[in-house]
Structure 1
């Protein structure tokens, strides 16, 4: 029986059952034939076995030695067709194995299509009344984990880990995200944003509040007392953010370590428990377990998956560098021994002597018309680091705006566009570098063209040519007319015409390509934030959240969103009508048979009857899962009456047409008989005719 199930041989299953074979027989791992059929995606075998099991009142959620049901086995091996059919037959999607892993959680990783189908059981739509109902109470134990249970992941954690964008947009998952956001996510996101804005304001004020040439001097109590006042909270805020960053990294490492230990133990137990399966070559379970071990070795802490975490680390490292350089500047240098921030045409030594004698100040030295910054001055480099750090800090706000629903998609589209621009620049760099060397060879060595006198000037001049900006064309034309036409003409065609238009087309294509996934990616970013926030919740807060789910979502009725398409279609209408029939079948079984016959006739073969009402099956409708679309009870009763009336009218018309056909056949037979008698008598009278 196990071999027949694994090889999808349904006829052999029926034959073996007729010979009294046990359909619930188990191997030493406790696996039944239905487990074998599910593991091999043998759909016909699954149908045959489930039919026989129901005839014998055997549950389709029969467990093996590791407490895995056939649905669990199919999901774990990624057998989508068998898994979805078992879900349709009412298999328990929340059933846990010996490791306390719910089947729905594994669906998020292995079979996202089945996961979306299974989530429909917790989402109902009342189209006539424009209502949606969410039964999240049944998922309360899977929505949020217990404190310090990092080893057992929730479905949302699997969605995030494996980037299941199609599942995160399911109405049930969206509702879960909304509930978490309203209960603790919005408050935490606003708090994080407020702290980060304060942090930016403090450091920006310190950067722009004093002239960089005299930033090393503190005149107390006035006018520099405010700078000391700002330095203290800026340093405290920075240290707090660094501590939080370190804690997040250590938490991600600890969670990964717990998960690896948990999964290694499960894999070891599975290897010892499951024998090779007949009918498979090679053993599919052994391959699956080896693949799981390989995935464990490749897994990295979730902290490093987020680019913005590395970006924050860069910002904090720059802050530490700025603080150290500033302390050195304040403690080690005075007006007499420090290098001047700016130098004139006479040289930095002359400027330094003039500052020491009082002829110039730091500010006046940089205000002169011939002034230029002194690259050996610590103040100059400190000021450059501060300027770059201010830009990075303000860009860091994007990280804290991602969880907000309206800004998330825009941030995702911006990030994707920047990635494509980066790939384009890598290609453009090939042409750019080639022409930089060519221009340097022709115009860069001892020529009167100032914009080509150094490599950096040539690079910037070519950048201006790309943007069709001003450049020294007349001077190049006067110096070498032939190469000017060749180099400038071809570079303009390649960069300003070809590459720029390709970039515009590529950005347009990127926008259209990622627009459909932008919302899903934004929801994913919100889910990541909510999972991080959950880690900081106490046991009492988790219990309160679960109580809110159980109280308010049993079920929760909300207005239907106008942005989603819940239109009718043939499949949903048919499923809805079958559900209504199931609801009222105890009232009038005969009418139900006719209604089912009428629905099947309209659905499958137009107005032609599919089968006789007496032959229509009456068993198995109790196992039909609740469809996605529902109508109210009043509309259902009206639909039943209309369908019943139509069925009776069709039955009467069919009976009348059959009666007319029988009468016509009888009259034709009588007419044919009389004509035959006349022809026989005529032949007898005229034998030569």
Structure 2
């Protein structure tokens, strides 16, 4: 439960505690490392089999099956399709199981709150009967109290009075708003994206086989294959995250993505007006054909921004003044200013990243995933018995600043622990 809340709300303050890190280390040493290696190996098999299926046979002959020579293609296709549907089945099973566990937990917690509500003060059902200040008891007579009564002046001090029944009602509302934990992050959606692309590859290939060479379907199948291969191989990075030497660098991707979007916003502010300016000044001339259509002009503008090869001499002959003005200022803004701004933002982000804490967070995440599997759930029970029977437990108090306790994610975490 503790690790689940830490991962769900990304509570790095609690993750720093030596007892929590020791628990993660014990789990990682006993079954986490082997489980992560098995998951990595299975993902490699998944990627290699799909790569072989999509690339071995030429796309123009892929719809032809000669038996019995091509029996291995049928076998390989069966293995690849089974892998995809097994992944879908496991993910759906985890979602359904998580939802059922949440419903069961909510039902038990609701019964506890309703039982507590029966014991509210009979005379003041909406407020505490009294509160204490410096040893003196002060009565609360307001029958119309809300969740918090403010501005109660006692000895020149403002006090806050928490009402009882309404407090329980607020806890019930928090309980109803609690969502299930299913480790929904960037890689979760990335995995489903890859699965959708693989399904598109399957359907287009089946359609091509049924139609016996349809040029449009075969071409569409080839496009899906080309689009699917890069994200398919990058999917394997997810399983390197819990390993010490590679994992922290893979985790940096999560920090880089928001910065890339900020950079693209700045980049497009310069790119779009300059692209139209190039199109107006240099478009419509045979010697500058790369500016004649809007699509080719946009790509040529991009090439200029990254200092790639472009027809500078022809541009200079056509309009020397505008060439100096547009090319010079555009390179200065994009290749110098925007790129250096991107570098500065990346450096600032990496300086603030704590790689050790991110490593522990990734290990906690993979441990939670493994503990849902039958084999590793038994390993978890063995570890708990080992900690209670043999190991010397680490117990240290965790102190934190008062303002941190006001953070919303900690409030939700404390609520779920209760």
TM-score > 0.5, shorter chain as reference? yes
Q: How many residues align?
A: 364
Task: String of CA shifts for 1:232-291, please: whole Å, max 9, x gaps.
Answer: 211222221111111122122223333433444444444443452334725425575565
Q: CA deviation at 1:443?
A: 2.2
Alignment counterpart, residue 203 of structure 2, candidates 306, 316, 324: 324
**Where does residue 119 of structure 2 map in the other structure?**
273
Q: Is the contact between residue 405 and residue 523 of structure 1 (CA under 8 Å) also seen in structure 2?
A: no
Q: Which has the higher contact order (CA 8 A, sep 6+)?
A: 2
Aligned to 1:200: 47
Q: How far did residue 173 of structure 1 move?
A: 0.9
Correspondence for 2:390 among 541, 552, 575: 552
Alignment partner, residue 232 of structure 2 = 393
Q: 1:241 aligns with which of 87, 104, 124?
A: 87
Matched, 1:513 2:391: no
Contact persistence 1:325–1:382 (CA under 8 A): yes
Q: Cα 1:424–1:292, aligned 2, differ >3 Å: closer, same or farther?
A: farther
How far apart are residue 203 of structure 1 and its match? 0.5
Rounded to whole Å, the distance in 2 between the matches of 1:626 and 1:522 is 22
1:550 positional shift: 2.1
**Distance in 2 of aligned mates of 1:197 and 1:236:** 15
Residue 213 of structure 1 pairs with residue 50 of structure 2: no
- Pair 1:529 & 2:408 matched: no
Equivalence for 1:155: 2
Contact 2:47 2:232 in 1 (8 A): yes
> Residue 51 of structure 2 contacts residue 229 of structure 2 at CA under 8 Å; is this kept in 1?
yes
After superposition, the CA RMSD in angstroms is: 2.7
TM-aligned CA deviation for residue 213 of structure 1: 2.1
Show structure 1 runs of 5+ residues with no match.
Answer: 1-153, 340-376, 557-624, 629-689
8 Å CA contact retained: 1:166, 1:520: no
User: What's the offset of the Cα at 1:198?
Assistant: 0.8
Alignment of 1:243-262 (within 5 A): 243-262=89-108
Deviation at 1:418, TM superposition (A): 2.9
Q: How many Å separate the matches in 1 of 2:315 and 2:82?
A: 57
Equivalences for 1:146-545 in 2 at 5 Å?
154-222=1-69, 224-275=70-121, 276-277=127-128, 278-279=130-131, 281-282=149-150, 283-284=161-162, 289=168, 292-293=171-172, 295-296=174-175, 298-303=177-182, 305-334=184-213, 338-339=214-215, 377-445=216-284, 448-514=287-353, 516=354, 518-537=355-374, 541-545=379-383
Conservation of the 8 A alpha-carbon contact between 1:304 and 1:310: no
CA distance in 2, matches of 1:162, 1:497: 39
CA distance in structure 2 between the aligned counterparts of 1:503 and 1:320, rounded to whole angstroms: 36
Residue-by-residue CA offset, 1:470-510 (whole Å, 9 max, x unaligned): 11122222222332222222211111111111111111111
**TM superposition score normalised by structure 2:** 0.79
CA contact (8 A) 2:28 2:367 kept: yes
Task: Give the alignment's TM-score, normalised by structure 1.
Answer: 0.49
- Determine the structure 1 residue equivalent to 2:134: none
Partner deviation per Cα, 1:356-408 (whole Å, 9 max, x = no partner): xxxxxxxxxxxxxxxxxxxxx22222112112212111111122222223332
Q: Note if contact 1:212-1:383 (Cα within 8 Å) is conserved in structure 2.
A: yes
Contact 1:452–1:461 (Cα < 8 Å) also in 2: yes
* CA 455–544 in structure 1, closer or farther in 2 if over 3 Å, else same: same
* Structure 2 CA distance for partners of 1:407 and 1:290, relative to 1, 3 Å: farther
Contact 2:387 2:393 (8 Å CA) reproduced: no
CA distance in 2, matches of 1:288, 1:159: 25
8 Å Cα contact 2:8/2:183 also seen in 1: no
**Secondary structure in 2 matching 1:493:** helix
- Going from structure 1 to structure 2, the CA distance change for 1:471 and 1:262 (only over 3 Å counts) comes to farther
Q: Are the structure 2 counterparts of residues 304 and 543 from structure 1 closer, same or farther at C-alpha, using a change threshold of 3 Å?
A: closer
For 2:9 and 2:348, locate their aligned partners in 1 and report how far apart those are by CA, in whole Å. 26
The structure with more radius of gyration: 1
Q: 1:627 to 1:463 in 2, by over 3 A?
A: closer
**Distance in structure 1 (CA, Å) of the matches to 2:116 and 2:278:** 68
- Report the secondary structure of 2:307's partner residue: coil
Q: 1:537 to 1:378 in 2, by over 3 A?
A: closer
Answer yes or no: is the 8 Å Cα contact 2:31–2:379 preserved in 1: no
- The verdict on how the C-alpha distance between 1:506 and 1:540 changes in structure 2, with shifts beyond 3 A counting, is closer
Q: Distance in 1 between matches of 2:104 and 2:325?
A: 65
Q: Contact 1:260 / 1:296 at 8 angstroms: preserved in 2?
A: yes
